[in-house]
């Protein structure tokens, strides 16, 4: 099945203006805009248990109430762990079982890569299906590259596996008209230093600490702000490699503090006849 729906993915490292451009395109065109912190953000895997059907059926033998919280898609069932916790705060055994299948927890030793990849892709497929009825065009903040790559890189996954995942993501959505706007500064060092200035020390310290505690951060001994720069430099290289493979049509723009008006004009010329 084909569709004329256009999906635009706005991508780039922190501090390049992704949210600003998402909102600006929304204002210019009226296309639906889904920001990273928005309701129903497609790949928000936080506290979502992704359970194979055969395992879920065994769990339900002892916890029949779980059926009220389940969405089934493909060969997996998905459960919002926090919803179950709110309704059954004393069901510690059930909550522990669900935590073992938490998709969004990169520290989870039970969520192996062989399970994470198909389970998360099936979850994403369902989320995009739910969005099909929302207008002709949708602009997404950080859905194709930033968040999937962060999830996989933090797990210390090799580059080719990450690239293959991004390819599978694009293939899954091939019925749509897919486009990517990639924003970048002159280099990763400059980008993250600007993000530190723009977002503040609280954000910077929180992200640096999170990176240092991931399997990737531990393996590569990433600490503090310098470790944060190294992490995002690696991520930028992976993103450029994904883009170079041509899975999705991608337009790249270089950002600086003096060219925002010019940048908007360039982007508008490229997208006005598509959105």
pLDDT in tens, 20-72: 999 999 998 888 899 987 767 888 898 999 999 999 999 999 999 999 999 99
Cα–chain center distance at 6:
19
What is the rounded CA–CA span in Å between residue 172 and residue 170?
5
Task: Kindly report the pTM of this predicted structure.
Answer: 0.91
Would you call 222 helix, strand, or coil by DSSP? coil
pLDDT number for residue 169: 96
Write out the two tokens for 186: 């002159």
Cβ-in-10-Å burial (0-12, 13-18, 19+) of 22 comes to buried
Beta pairing, strands 177-184 & 249-254: parallel
What is the rounded CA–CA span in Å between residue 243 and residue 182?
9
Beta pairing, strands 70-73 & 76-80: antiparallel
* Mean pLDDT of all residues in 3-9: 83
pLDDT number for residue 1: 46
From edge to edge, which strands make up the β-sheet containing 48-52? 48-52, 76-80, 70-73
- In this predicted structure, the answer to whether residue 253 has a pLDDT above a threshold of 90 is yes
Cα–chain center distance at 87:
28
* Mean pLDDT of all residues in 138-166: 95
Provide the 10 A C-beta neighbour count for residue 112: 10
- In this predicted structure, the answer to whether residue 273 has a pLDDT above a threshold of 80 is no
- In this predicted structure, the answer to whether residue 258 has a pLDDT above a threshold of 90 is no
* Mean pLDDT of all residues in 125-131: 87
pLDDT in tens, 154-190: 999 999 999 999 999 999 999 999 999 999 999 999 9
Beta bridge pairs of residue 138 = 7, 32
What is the rounded CA–CA span in Å between residue 149 and residue 166?
8
- Residue for token pair 């990433």: 222
Q: Quote the mean pLDDT of the chain.
A: 92
What is the rounded CA–CA span in Å between residue 167 and residue 19?
24
pLDDT number for residue 194: 93
Q: Does domain 7-44+112-271 have CATH number 3.30.300.30?
A: no
134, 272 in Cβ contact below 8 A? no
Q: Packing angle between helix 260-271 and helix 18-29, nearest 10 degrees?
A: 50
pLDDT number for residue 99: 95
Q: Where are the domains of the chain?
A: 7-44+112-271, 46-102
Q: Packing angle between helix 113-130 and helix 159-172, nearest 10 degrees?
A: 30
pLDDT number for residue 130: 84
Beta pairing, strands 48-52 & 76-80: antiparallel
């Amino acid at each position: 099945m084909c569709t004329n729906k256009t999906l635009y993915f706005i991508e780039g490292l922190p501090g390049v203006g992704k949210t600003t451009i998402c909102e600006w395109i929304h204002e210019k065109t009226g296309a639906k805009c889904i920001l990273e912190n928005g309701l129903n953000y497609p790949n928000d895997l936080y506290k979502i248990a992704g359970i194979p059907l055969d395992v879920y059926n065994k769990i339900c033998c002892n916890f029949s109430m779980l059926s009220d919280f389940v969405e089934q898609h493909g060969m997996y069932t998905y459960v919002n762990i926090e919803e179950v916790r709110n309704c059954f705060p004393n069901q510690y055994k059930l909550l522990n079982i669900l935590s073992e299948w938490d998709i969004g927890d990169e520290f989870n030793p039970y969520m192996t890569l062989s399970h994470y990849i198909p389970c998360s892709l099936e979850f994403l497929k369902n989320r995009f299906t739910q969005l099909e009825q929302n207008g002709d065009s949708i602009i997404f903040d950080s859905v194709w590259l930033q968040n999937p790559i962060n999830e996989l890189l933090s797990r210390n996954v090799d580059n080719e596996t990450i690239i293959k995942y991004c390819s599978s993501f694009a293939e899954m959505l091939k019925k749509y008209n897919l486009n990517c706007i990639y924003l970048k500064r002159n280099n990763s060092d400059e980008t993250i230093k600007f993000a530190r200035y723009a977002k503040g020390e609280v954000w910077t310290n929180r992200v640096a600490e999170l990176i240092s505690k991931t399997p990737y951060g531990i393996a590569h001994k990433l600490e503090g702000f310098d470790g944060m720069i190294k992490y995002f430099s690696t991520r930028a290289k992976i993103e450029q490699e994904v883009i170079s493979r041509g899975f999705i049509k991608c337009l790249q723009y270089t950002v600086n503090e003096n060219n925002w008006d010019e940048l908007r004009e360039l982007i508008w010329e490229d997208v006005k006849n598509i959105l």
